Structure 1
Amino acid sequence: MKSREQLNSWQQLTQHADHMKKQHMKELFAQDGQRFEKFSIKLPSILLDYSKNTITSETMSLLTQLAKECDLEKWRERMFSGERINSTEDRAVLHTALRDRSYTPIQVDGYDISKEVERTLAQIKVFSEDIRQGRWKGYSGKRITDIVNIGVGGSNLGPQMVTEALKRFSDHTVNVHYVSNVDGAQIAEVLRPLKPENVLFIVSSKTFTTTETMLNAKTALKWLIASSFDQSAIAQHFIAVTANKKNAINFGIAEHNIFDMWDWVGGRFSLWSAIGLPIAINLGYDNFVELLNGAYDIDCHFQHTELSNNIPVILALLSMWNCTFLGAQSQAILPYDQSLHMLSAYLQQAEMESNGKSVNWYGETISYPTVPSIWGELGINGQHAFYQYLHQSNNIVPADFIGSVESVTPIQGHHETLMSNFFAQTQALMQGVNEQQVRADLIAKGRSADYIDKVAPHKVHQGNRPTNTLLMDKISPFTLGSLIAIYEHKIFVQGILLQICSFDQWGVELGKGLASQIESELYHNNIDLSHDSSTWNLLMHYQEVKSNDKV
């Protein structure tokens, strides 16, 4: 099979990029009054404006041609049909099956997984309603008032991001807390104000072997037993979400308190499954279903819409254009909605863990730039922090601006001020301001010639900084589900275009393996001489200071 760089469209895009690097978006807008109409997509509850990118109709035609030459449509069909497209782990990739509202049978290894999904959803519904209505009691006969979700990575970040984003939809019948850090300070802080008799722990781990999660779970178990004085209390206070029932049972969790996970769902794409149990409990099952409905709506859009008018495809193509062909090395995610304050971190994990790779499907080293590093912050906070870098640095950072027309917390004047900044920033990043404009402005303000000569160069903004604008009608379970699914499919498309295995994460494993070895050395006060000199001396210093502190 041809490498991506041998494709005709790739070679044409490389030449086209040399030409487009000399273009300024401000001039492109001046030349084409229909630019927004050409480069925007409107769905019932979300609008994508991608006109503020260094693109023309030729650019988008070549990018779409690239997607076709990469057999994107065929790969899309393979994913939805349950083929084992996760080649390095020999697994299907079917997080979409978790929210499939058509209830179409999907075969994996000869059985219909849609039946398992329906069964688990029914289990989530019954369990979440039992907790919310007080039918599930703790060891002392009192109702559960607090959920503590113990997990890390996808088992934590997805549910936490969603419950934070949809906080206004919670009736606070049950409060939810999250513990992911193995630093004991976090679990101690979470547990300090809680009463064991009112707490339910959800331990989420696909393998039920993750070091951080299991250590936190054991600490929680000791905390519970110290209060209840009874090992049988575990049955009322511990739930597991895992693909490894045996390990969960060995830990002490009753089999009927275990929710299934499957190897065809990656952790960072798993909030739609029983990993989302905290969402259903905190927000109510109906809101959890609306989240699924919003994602399914985008699944249908992604499956059945032409590539040239397909939001996830367009976002992936633009990311590749800006990074691989124009040389951008990072991308900012900038939500202008307080409820989305964890979205940047969530998408950082989703994209960088998926596509932060340097070999192709065949294990060959990739010679072209792949995906950018992802980072970001709430828009207004970022404006007073790193937007200076976005506007005037030599490094061009494409950015996704994400906002909503209507606030979920309407306070007079606030949303208008917020959104005026939202719209102004993308305009400023695109247009910039040249020295002639700066000087004219300073003259109009009565500044002296010496002051103008001194300051004018510092106030110049080159502009031509690419942005996408995603504007939702309002943050809701449905629109949030849609937004997350858009980025999930964007990540899939990027992987296909770049020939990257998006659904493994071998880069996570090396450090974890070394950590296990070092942990044993620290416990036994026996540092291995085979470490490099830096690591060995750091470990010896750690042990020395720790020993002195005990004296």
Structure 2
Amino acid sequence: MEWKNFDLLESYKKLENISPVEIKELMAGENGAKRVREYQLPMGAGQLYSYAAEPVDDTILDVLQGLADEAELIEKYEQVYNGAVVNTGENRRVLHQLTRGQLGEDVIADGVNKREFYVSQQKKAAEFAEKVHAGEIVNEAGEKFTTAVQIGIGGSDLGPRALYMSLENWAKVNNTLKMEAKFISNVDPDDGSAVLASIDLSRAIFVLVSKSGTTLETLTNESFVKEALIKAGLNPAKHMVAVTSETSPLAGNPDYLDSFYMDDYIGGRYSSTSSVGGVILSLTFGPEIFARILNGAAEEDILAKNKDIRQNPAMLDAMIGVYERNFLGYSNTAVLPYSQAMIRFPAHLQQLDMESNGKSVNRFGEPVSYQTGPIIFGEPGTNGQHSFYQLLHQGTDIVPLQFVGFKKNQMDNDIVIQDSTSQQKLNANVAAQIMAFACGKEDENRNKYFAGGRPSSIIVGEQLIPEALGAILAHFENKVMFQGFVWNVNSFDQEGVQLGKLLAKKVLAKETDGALTAYSELLGIF
């Protein structure tokens, strides 16, 4: 197994010298229709990954296959799920795939079978949730809890919040919404105040998520919530559970109803399928729905084992992204779900991608001489069309686009207006945008001219159900992992978030000088 910088690979030189293709030509006329039908492959949960509007042909795909082989992407993935220490920055294993299935060998770490450990925590969360739903765990007045509030930040908030919001309306229609969820993440007191003002405190259960038990923002918000509970005459210990590591000060603490565990082998942005997401989603949707999310993710993880990029959607997506980033010079990627339920999914992918591959040194701490992770942004369609699509269509930068769309809406509630339903109108916009970006429009009036040649892919599913959501989640996790392997960066640490934290602590301790003191004065800290 070799970990080599991207520009030292033979495939890098081949990609430098390969002739680019014109999307506009590939997608025009009947040839375009044929291409759409051929340039797609199955994903988990019966979905499809379509890459017809990407700037690749069979020649380029063959070179990208050679890149995947030369960079030993599948062998490195095997190392991940078999428990090798691939997080070199923190000297840790990377085991989030084990939360949803056994892909290879037993992973024994610290004397524990880690798959069995994760399953035991899922079972513990399920049993706790079922007792809450059955009224066996209640508030001081003997009343059932009706709201679950997650207190966490970063990976302890973004992924679980995105998953909850993606299924909230589906769960209402399918009578599986057991409790409403709320989330407090920002240390801004307005965030916590707004949530607390919107719920019945006496019937709320709070899920405090901090692996170390020392996260400043999370512990500050915990104190904020505890004070509100005490003022309301409530005992915080009867309203709070902890999701943490077994060695943290929160573990087994009598100040909490119960504790659920994760470990150092699952990074925050990869933790949605661990107890970090499992507790809140089991409380709100029920353990069966959380299990269905895991099943969808497991399906996608299995597909990611295939060495053939034409049969491995995550690896193909990753290789196309590398080609666009490093050889076509595209520095941004827009994530555009045509589902309002996925409104927070782009925010989760921002952290997943930019915290993982936003690195300028390789796995050994040496500077790299090529571009790594792109800037990720996005918004659901059709709202985004009336916001930033102007730049995407006619701006000076070409931005690759990742669409997500579903044939059916979640709530089975629609109406025919002007001979078509709202869902048909939504999906007509997806199809139209893909073609508008790819083929553009000729016009003598340059203000109305669209150059086209703007690449995109789309994930298409029947309906946004738990399995589909899990598969989409795992698709992007695996895409980011494969790209990190190609760029030879460590996708599993996040030193970039630490410096600001350290300086903030200095400010609060009044151990500042120079401009830091001046900014502290400007902001009214002292």
Q: TM-score normalised by the shorter chain: which range applies?
A: over 0.9
Work out which of the two has the higher radius of gyration on C-alpha atoms and give 1 or 2.
Answer: 1
Question: Where does residue 209 of structure 1 map in the other structure?
Answer: 214
Question: Where does residue 374 of structure 1 map in the other structure?
Answer: 376
8 Å contact 1:42–1:48 — kept in the other structure? yes
SS in 1 for 2:243: strand
CA deviations over 1:129-155 (Å, ceiling 9, x no partner): 111222211123222111111000111
8 Å contact 2:440–2:450 — kept in the other structure? yes
Q: Percent identity between the aligned chains?
A: 31
CA deviations over 1:292-341 (Å, ceiling 9, x no partner): 00000111111246233210001100111111110001000000011111
Residue correspondence of structure 1 range 61-460 to structure 2 within 5 A:
61-100=62-101, 105-167=106-168, 168-170=170-172, 171=175, 172-228=177-233, 233-248=235-250, 253-254=255-256, 257-276=258-277, 277-304=279-306, 306-410=308-412, 411-412=414-415, 413-434=421-442, 438-439=443-444, 456-460=445-449
SS in 1 for 2:224: helix
Where relative contact order (Cα < 8 A, 6+ residues apart) is larger, the structure is 2
CA deviations over 1:466-514 (Å, ceiling 9, x no partner): 0001111110000000000000000100000100100000000010110
Alignment partners' CA distance in 1, 2:394 and 2:287: 47
8 Å contact 1:101–1:293 — kept in the other structure? no
SS in 1 for 2:396: coil
The amino acid that maps onto 2:484 is G
Q: CA deviation at 1:203?
A: 0.3
The amino acid that maps onto 1:40 is Q
Question: Where does residue 446 of structure 1 map in the other structure?
Answer: none
8 Å contact 1:360–1:498 — kept in the other structure? yes
CA deviations over 1:497-537 (Å, ceiling 9, x no partner): 1001000000000101101111222xxxxx733x33xx332
SS in 2 for 1:144: coil
Alignment partners' CA distance in 1, 2:470 and 2:282: 14
8 Å contact 1:294–1:481 — kept in the other structure? yes
Question: Where does residue 481 of structure 2 map in the other structure?
Answer: 492
Alignment partners' CA distance in 1, 2:37 and 2:348: 31
SS in 1 for 2:493: coil
Greater alpha carbon shift after TM alignment, 195-204 vs 505-514: 195-204
Alignment partners' CA distance in 2, 1:366 and 1:497: 12
Question: Where does residue 35 of structure 2 map in the other structure?
Answer: 35
Alignment partners' CA distance in 2, 1:127 and 1:109: 26
Q: What do you get for the CA RMSD once the two structures are aligned?
A: 2.0
Alignment partners' CA distance in 2, 1:227 and 1:376: 40
Where do 5+ consecutive residues of structure 1 fail to align? 440-455, 522-526
Go from structure 1 to structure 2 and tell me whether the alpha carbon gap of 1:207 and 1:481 turns closer, same or farther (over 3 Å shift): same
Q: Are 2:518 and 1:541 aligned? A: no
Give the TM-score taking structure 1 as reference length.
0.89
SS in 1 for 2:24: helix
Go from structure 1 to structure 2 and tell me whether the alpha carbon gap of 1:362 and 1:415 turns closer, same or farther (over 3 Å shift): same
Greater alpha carbon shift after TM alignment, 419-428 vs 235-244: 235-244
Aligned pair count reads 510
The amino acid that maps onto 1:219 is F
8 Å contact 1:63–1:317 — kept in the other structure? yes
The amino acid that maps onto 1:173 is K
The amino acid that maps onto 2:482 is V
8 Å contact 1:150–1:201 — kept in the other structure? yes
Q: Are 2:509 and 1:520 aligned? A: yes
SS in 1 for 2:249: helix
SS in 1 for 2:232: helix
Greater alpha carbon shift after TM alignment, 105-114 vs 421-430: 105-114
Greater alpha carbon shift after TM alignment, 424-433 vs 307-316: 307-316
Where do 5+ consecutive residues of structure 2 fail to align? 416-420
Alignment partners' CA distance in 2, 1:122 and 1:249: 17
